[in-house]
Amino acid sequence: MEKELQSIVARIEPADSHWEKLAWERLRSQIRPRGSLGRLEEMAARLGAIFRSVSPSVSRKIIFTMAGDHGVAEEGVSAYPQEVTAQMVFSFLKGWASINILADHVGAEVRVVDLGVASDLPEDWAVIRRKIGKGTRNITKGPAMERHEAVRGLVEGARLVMDAVQDEGFHLVGTGDMGIGNTTPSTAIVATLTGKPVKDLTGRGTGIDDAAWNRKVRAVERALAVNRPNAADPVDVLAKVGGYEIAGLAGAVLGAAAVRTPVVCDGFIATAGALIACQLAPFAKDYLFVSHRSQEVGHGAMIELLGLSPLLDLSMRLGEGTGAALAISLVEASARVLRDIKTFEEAGVTDTGR
């Protein structure tokens, strides 16, 4: 699968600056004061560059919620037991959870992917089955997974998105996660890539108390000391301190960029995946929108490293793809701004040049 991953990365080109210029020309000619729609205009111009069009459509939207378990959960780093991962997958499939309600609100389909849930999910569950292993190994004792497993997770995530776009006609992708304990490997990833102290990047996850927070900090510090992930090799970082669902999330960003499709990542865990993707393929960032600023303290370091501004700041820290769902509505609005607002010439309105 290394060759397939290399092929996907090789397909990723920069968004088209010529079409971005054309988008800005249209935006500045519309019947309103120039710049009056603020960041919606910036998003619209980015969509113009991505789609190579001044009339983009993002009406078909899909969110992939990637699920996986983590061996490091045995270190007592979460407020919830590991079996909650599978239980929440069931809730997603039944349409009961936060992601289902918010995705329905914005007209997005939700697909749940098992990349590494620890238990065997029943055959009658309508989950996308891409299981690489039954949870990662405990990163405080050794690597989370083998390198070939990390590569497989990247490729699986990319395939899912590329197929959805090319075969089913989706225009906009969101990414979300489910996995008890997954803020711990996400913290290890951002600590590796930024070099910042672990304690400055470690948050409360599902709402852990001080004792659990201290265990979490120590777990991440041990994971980095034991595994010594190579910050210059994102696949090594993913394999040593990542997660199966984080691999899928990273692959989803790569897949979207490879087929010139905007992708909206959720919060802390999904952004960890986006970081891995953008380290592998820097131009992938041209297709990426960070949905919101997570309450997880390490998220600020992630978005600083990416150099992207979150679209929302709502004090959220849930995951699942909930932030992506809300931000998708803004991306869709920005597409309509570019496409549907008339220009002064089209509307016959006097332009004062302001």
Burial call 66-105: b when 16+ CB within 10 Å, e when fewer: bbbbbbbbebebbebebebbbebbebbbeeebbbbebbee
Tell me the two tokens of residue 135: 């949870």
**b/e map 218-248, b = 16+ CB within 10 Å:** bbbbbbbebbebeeeebbbbbbbbbbbbbbb
In the chain, the N- to C-terminal Cα span, in Å, equals 54
Backbone φ, ψ for residue 292 (5° rounding): -155, 165
Q: Give me the numbers of helices (H) and strands (E) for the chain, helices first please.
A: 14, 6
**Of 20, 41, 296, 320, catalytic:** 320
Tokens of 33: 């004061």
Spatial contact of 185 and 179, defined as CB atoms under 8 Å apart: no
Q: Which amino acid is at 173?
A: V
Catalytic residue list contains 75: no
Q: Which residue numbers are catalytic? A: 320
